[in-house]
Structure formats: structure tokens, C-alpha cells
A and B are shown apart, each in its own frame.
Chain A
């Protein structure tokens, strides 16, 4: 008796959609859930080849505000050593400005390069800031998505206060590739950075400022035999043992730059009060008196060989 009523009720309910068809379980992508937050970086790989780059703040302007000189790091071919200099240091002889030295390494699956400042730490050795701090002031370099459309195809972003809140662009320089070296071919350099004359003799640098106290430094290659950066450690001539005796603490860094300027120049980087910042002093060969009398690579005077070389 009841069956036809029940049957009619079911037909009505199903026609109204009140009885829902059973659906299959929704299967979660478990690996997707567990990997959430680990960002998978997509995009073109960013690599910095050794050479000279120009850093600018306006894509409409050809002339940039700083230079970035890049060299490969001797202990890891994926990393680079770089120095950032204001334009006035390079473009005018005897230029002075504030710059930084960086160790760059790939991050985000190689889509960016992280330039971490290299500082002189409390003990007097070089220290990579990103390895000592979780919030180091680093610069992230990445390629823009359509690099051919921009004057500056690289983008520079500062983290934790680097670059002073600016967003900058970068392009490879069109000038001749600079030849960097930690050993010069000239002997005497002069500049207006307050250090007077510099004499480079083999592996030592003598500073003669016209004041009573002169000072000497030993050049230690920082990046291997073919690297382009050198450390400067204070050294003194021990007259009794007839040898130059050096400290084990670094006083600064030196780079010899040629190939993109009219003459070879010597860059001295001296640490400032702010960790990671260096005062950059550029020295040009002294063409006035002394270097004319000196043969390259030695301090043998040539006066008795017939005058200027």
C-alpha cells in the first residue's frame, strides 16, 4: 500500500534534485600542499659575466650614475667578485667617492644574483656580510622579462636598506672591456685622495704624502694568481732582519684598472666607519717626474742610460 507512495515521493524528489548523486572523493595534491611556500622560481637565468657594467636610475638616460666591475670568484665559478664605484671616481683622474665590494652568488634557482657586501671585520679579515647576518644589505640583480626593450636590461633591487631605497637598472658597458689586475705595469701613481704618491714595487705599495710619516702596505692577491683584487696589509721594513714584515690584518683593498681608460689606474678602497662602505680613491700614473725614470716592473733608474725612456 505504501510502496507506490514512496516510489512517487522518490521520483518527485529526484526530479527536484533533492536527492544528490554521490560524487567521487576530491583527491588533494599532497606534494603540492606540502611544498606550498617553497617558491619555484621561473624566469630567465641571470649570470654576470666578468666586465664593466653601468648602473643607472632612469631608463631614459644613457649615462649612468655608477659602475660595477665584475670578476669571477676563484673558489667557485658560479660566484663573482664585484666593486661598485660612483662615476666620478672613474671618469676623472684622482677621483674620490664611496663604493662597495661584493661577493655575488646565484639565488632563486639562478634567476637572480645576490651581491653581498664584503667587509673588513673586527679581527681584520674579510667577511661576507650575508654569511654573518640574516638581514644583510644585499643587492639582488635580475634580468627584466623582455631585456631587449630596455636601455637597462638588468634590475637592481636593494634589500634591508641597500641602495637607499632606490630601484636601479644596469647594462653592460659598450666601452672596451676593462683589464683588471692586482699587479700594475706602472710603478708610480698619484691622486688627490689625500694619499699623495703611491709607489708600487713588486708586491708592496709605498705611500708618500709629503708629511713626515710615510706608510707601506703589502699586496696580497685576494682572488688567486689571475684574480683582479688584492688586499693591502700594513707592512714595515725590519732593517735588522732585512725583510718586509706584515700585519695579518687588512687595511684596505687595491685594484689596477686598464683597458677602458686612457691610462692604467690604481684604485684603493679604504674602509669607512659604516661597515661595508669603502672610500674609493683612484690614482693615475704620475707622468710628471718619477715614472719617466723608472722601467716597468722594477725601480731601476734609467737616468744613466740616456735620460727618459
Chain B
């Protein structure tokens, strides 16, 4: 008897713990799927609101025609799911952000990026959108804690950086294309534009490069330059034409900088020790990265990679 009681108690505890994780409020819902749980929660919320409003009502209306009754309407879950396309979600995020104070836009853009990426899921023609937004959130989160002692300027600069990133994502959304890379060929369609990962990398690097000449701290600029180099190397190394001489040279240059360049190593060591990097190391690293960026158009041309779509993005 005691054993049965103990087991029942344990089972109840586990069920309740599991229930709280799923935002479930009754044990009966443990048998339901996630979508159904959400629908049930919506139902309970609307019932609650109805009860609150009913308590305020003087008299009921003459009939219920046109008055929403809980439980009569079909669950709008599938409508909500399909309401926005990725492109319209990006536009909605940009419009909504413009109504917020500058500082609040930063966290709003971060959440909006997560929603857009979830919505986009694994759609092959939206891969560039996901990469763009992922990288911008990555940069913002690494840079914000060390950006400097002028919070108002940092808020304006970061809100603007996010806006530019979302605009770039909007450009990809308005020009659906397939990414050509070693990551795996999507269903190849001759009716869609193909963009090479290297060309995408060049475009994203122009966005990031422009953001590194701002009025924030040297450590934040150093972090951005290091990440710019990392992204560029990843993009070129995974391009389908990675063995073409132009592309291979970029991979070699980035590898050399990351593994052998003294300025790069000094900066990483300074950051590791919690110190600001030296001005000299930062200036020299910037100069070397600038040289690589200037060489990209010529090297891409040698690898026969065209940049048709990219003219839409201001350089």
C-alpha cells in the first residue's frame, strides 16, 4: 500500500513538472499535442476575458448574432501560421521597430530575427535571409557588452546596424535565389537565380565593414573585424568554386591572418585578458583586412562569379 502511494506521488510530481514545462494547466492536456495545447490555452484565455467583461456588463444584447461566443469559432491556429510570408514578416518588423524608442529597437530586432528564422525554417530560397539575420544578432550580442561608455550613441548605432541588416534581408526576400555552396545543393531550378556563397560573403562583409568605423570602443571594433574575417573565410571556403585560384587566395589570406598574423594574435590575447587592444594592432589589422576586401571583386571575377543581384544593395 505504501509503495503504491509513493509511486502515485512520484508520478504526480513528474506529471506536474512536465506540465509546467509545456505550459499545461491540467493533467488531461498531457495527452494532447503541442498545437492542441496552444489552442486550449487560447480557448481558456478567451473564456477568462469573457467572464471579466460579463461581470462589467449592465445587460446582455438582444441576441447573440454578431457577438463572438467562445467555442463557436474554428481555431485560427492554421490561419495564423500562414498569415505572413517571410518577406512580409521582415517588412512588418522594420515598420514596427520604427515606432519604438531607439534602445528598445535592439531587443525587438533580436526577437523579430528569431521569429523570422523560425518562420523561414529550412526553405532553401530563404537561406540568405537566415544567414544574414543570424550573423547580425551574433555580432550585436558580442559587441554590446563592450561597446563603450556612450550608451545613447551605442543605442543609435546598433539600432541602425540592425535596420541595415533587416534591409539586406528584405533585399534577399524580394529576390529569392538559391545559394550555391558546399553545404549542399538544394533542388536546382533553372528558373531561380543562383548566388554563390562567396559573393554573399562579400556583400555581408561590406555591411559589417561599414559598421566598424563608428564611435564605439576599440575592443568592439576589434571583435567586429575578427568576426568579419571569420565569416569571410567560412563563406569562401564553402563556396563551390573554392579551388578556383581567386577564391582559394582569399581562403589562404584569411587562414594566414587568423593563424600567423601578429597583430591578430595580439588583439585576441588582449581580449582574452580583458584588455582593450592597442591602437597600433587595431590599425594594422584594419589595414590588412581592407586590402583583402579591396581585392575581392577582382578575385571573384577571376573565378567567374558574377554579382548581378548585388547591384541592388548600396555598396
Task: Give me the interface of A with B, judged by CB distance under 8 Å.
Answer: 74-76, 78, 103, 105-106, 118, 121-129, 131-132, 134, 220-224, 227, 231, 233, 238, 241, 243, 245-250
> Are the CB atoms of B314 and A122 closer together than 8 Å?
yes
Q: Can you name 22 A-B pairs with beta carbons within 8 Å?
A: A74-B148, A74-B149, A75-B149, A75-B216, A78-B279, A106-B279, A118-B215, A121-B210, A125-B156, A125-B214, A127-B213, A129-B213, A131-B286, A134-B287, A134-B290, A220-B102, A221-B153, A222-B152, A224-B149, A233-B102, A243-B101, A250-B156
Known: A220-B155, A243-B101. 17 other contacts (CB 8 A): A74-B148, A74-B150, A75-B216, A76-B217, A121-B213, A122-B210, A125-B160, A126-B153, A127-B210, A131-B212, A134-B287, A220-B156, A222-B153, A245-B100, A246-B102, A249-B160, A250-B156
Task: Give CA–CA (A247, B163) in the complex, Å.
Answer: 11
Find the B residue at minimum CB distance from A79: B279
Name the B residues within 8 Å of A222 (CB-CB): 150, 152-153, 215
> Are the CB atoms of A128 and B101 closer together than 8 Å?
no
Is B99's CB within 8 Å of the partner chain A? yes
Is B105's CB within 8 Å of the partner chain A? yes
> Are the CB atoms of B99 and A128 closer together than 8 Å?
no
Task: Give CA–CA (A233, B163) in the complex, Å.
Answer: 15
Find the A residue at minimum CB distance from B148: A75
> Are the CB atoms of B215 and A103 closer together than 8 Å?
yes
Name the B residues within 8 Å of A246 (CB-CB): 101-102
> Are the CB atoms of A223 and B150 closer together than 8 Å?
yes
For B153, give its contact among A103, A220, A245 (CB under 8 Å). A220
Name the B residues within 8 Å of A250 (CB-CB): 156
Is B157's CB within 8 Å of the partner chain A? yes
Task: Give CA–CA (A223, B151) in the complex, Å.
Answer: 9
How many residues on B have C-beta within 8 angstroms of the other chain's C-beta atoms? 36
* Chain B 210-238 interface mask (CB, 8 Å, partner A; 1/0): 11111111100100000000000000000
Q: Would A127 and B214 be within 8 Å (CB), given that A223-B150, A248-B163 are in contact?
A: yes
Contacts of B236-294 to chain A: CB distance below 8 A: 276, 279, 286-287, 290
Task: Give me the interface of B with A, judged by CB distance under 8 Å.
Answer: 98-102, 105, 148-153, 155-157, 159-161, 163-164, 210-218, 221, 276, 279, 286-287, 290, 314
Find the A residue at minimum CB distance from B220: A75
Task: Give CA–CA (A171, B265) in the complex, Å.
Answer: 41
Name the B residues within 8 Å of A124 (CB-CB): 160
For A231, give its contact among B153, B217, B279, B290 (CB under 8 Å). B153
Task: Give CA–CA (A163, B212) in the complex, Å.
Answer: 26
For A245, give its contact among B98, B157, B160, B314 (CB under 8 Å). B98
Q: Would A248 and B160 be within 8 Å (CB), given that A75-B149, A121-B210 are in contact?
A: yes
Task: Give CA–CA (A75, B220) in the complex, Å.
Answer: 11
> Are the CB atoms of A75 and B286 closer together than 8 Å?
no
Q: Closest Cβ of chain B: how far from A236's Cβ, in Å? A: 10
Q: Closest Cβ of chain A: how far from B246's Cβ, in Å? A: 22
> Are the CB atoms of B214 and A126 closer together than 8 Å?
yes
Name the A residues within 8 Å of B290 (CB-CB): 134
Q: Closest Cβ of chain A: how far from B62's Cβ, in Å? A: 34
Task: Give CA–CA (A221, B152) in the complex, Å.
Answer: 6
Find the A residue at minimum CB distance from B153: A222
Task: Give CA–CA (A221, B164) in the complex, Å.
Answer: 22
> Are the CB atoms of B105 and A248 closer together than 8 Å?
yes
Q: Would A248 and B159 be within 8 Å (CB), given that A76-B218, A128-B214, A134-B287 are in contact?
A: yes
For A123, give its contact among B99, B160, B286 (CB under 8 Å). B160
> Are the CB atoms of A241 and B99 closer together than 8 Å?
yes
Task: Give CA–CA (A122, B149) in the complex, Å.
Answer: 25
> Are the CB atoms of B160 and A131 closer together than 8 Å?
no
Name the A residues within 8 Å of B160 (CB-CB): 123-125, 248-249
> Are the CB atoms of A75 and B150 closer together than 8 Å?
yes
> Are the CB atoms of B150 and A238 closer together than 8 Å?
no
Closest 9 CB pairs of A and B: A131-B213, A220-B152, A75-B148, A248-B160, A248-B159, A75-B217, A224-B150, A132-B213, A127-B213
For B150, give its contact among A118, A134, A227, A243 (CB under 8 Å). A227
Name the A residues within 8 Å of B218 (CB-CB): 75-76
Task: Give CA–CA (A231, B211) in the complex, Å.
Answer: 17
Find the A residue at minimum CB distance from B212: A131
Task: Give CA–CA (A284, B64) in the complex, Å.
Answer: 67
Q: Closest Cβ of chain B: how far from A219's Cβ, in Å? A: 9
Name the B residues within 8 Å of A131 (CB-CB): 212-213, 221, 286
Name the A residues within 8 Å of B159 (CB-CB): 248
Find the A residue at minimum CB distance from B279: A105
Task: Give CA–CA (A238, B101) in the complex, Å.
Answer: 11
Find the B residue at minimum CB distance from A126: B215
Task: Give CA–CA (A80, B159) in the complex, Å.
Answer: 25
Name the A residues within 8 Å of B314 (CB-CB): 122
Name the B residues within 8 Å of A105 (CB-CB): 279
Find the B residue at minimum CB distance from A127: B213
